[in-house]
Amino acid sequence: MITIYHNSRCSKSREGVCFLENTKEDFQVVNYLENIPTKDELKELLRKLNISPIDLVRKKESIWISDYKNKNLSDDEIIQAMIDNPKLIERPIIVNGDKAVIARPTERINEIL
Domain that holds residue 20: 2-112
Model pTM? 0.93
Query: pLDDT tens for residues 61-106?
Result: 999 999 999 999 999 999 999 999 999 999 999 999 999 999 999 9
Domain count, the chain: 1
- When pLDDT is averaged across residues 8-22 and rounded to a whole number, the result is 96
- When pLDDT is averaged across residues 32-55 and rounded to a whole number, the result is 97
Choose the catalytic residue: 10, 33, 63, 73.
Answer: 10
Active site residue 10: yes
CATH number at residue 92: 3.40.30.10
Backbone dihedral angles phi then psi of residue 21, each to the nearest 5 degrees: -60, -40
